[in-house]
Amino acid sequence: MSTETGQTQTHVDTMLSEHRDMAAAQAFFRSAQSATGQVPNQVTTDGHGSYPRAIRSTLGRRVVHRTSAYKNNRLEQDHRGVKGRIRCMRGFKSFDSAERFCRSYDELRNFLRLQSRHNQHVPANRRRLLHLRRATAVRAILEAA
């Protein structure tokens, strides 16, 4: 989901739910609203049938709902790594294992991420040093577990 408030564009991540229905959509929009602290002017989604009613009931009638695969593409590209891992495992056998995988994947990815903000330049020698330190820390944690 992408929300726009005036000149600022904010991207809100995803929510893992057992069911893709009206209750899950409303819970997601409430969570997104509490995370950003504001009601967006526009919301871009993939066009699932429950979204328009969930947006109206949760965010209000003034919020414009856009459905576009291209305008939502940055968010979809961000989940490319998770989708690549899921394909080779041929899906998950239970919701609990999916939830556990997604949570740990995001934590590890954020820990190893070298940039603290979008388009931040980090020199190559600094990137190598930071990655080596962080990868060593992750390895030590995994060996201790």
Domain parsing of the chain, residue ranges: 2-77, 93-144
pTM of the shown model: 0.54
Query: CA angle 81-108-105, nearest 5°?
Result: 45
Q: Whose CA is closest to 74, among 10, 5, 7?
A: 10
**Better-predicted residue by pLDDT, 29 or 114:** 29
How far is residue 129's CA from residue 90's CA, in Å, rounded to a whole number? Answer: 35
Report the DSSP pairing between strands 42-45 and 64-67: parallel
Element (H, E) at 106: helix 95-112
Both tokens assigned to 22: 């009206």
Residue-level pLDDT at 27:
87
Say yes or no to pLDDT of 21 above 80.
yes
Residue-level pLDDT at 53:
92
Residue-level pLDDT at 2:
47
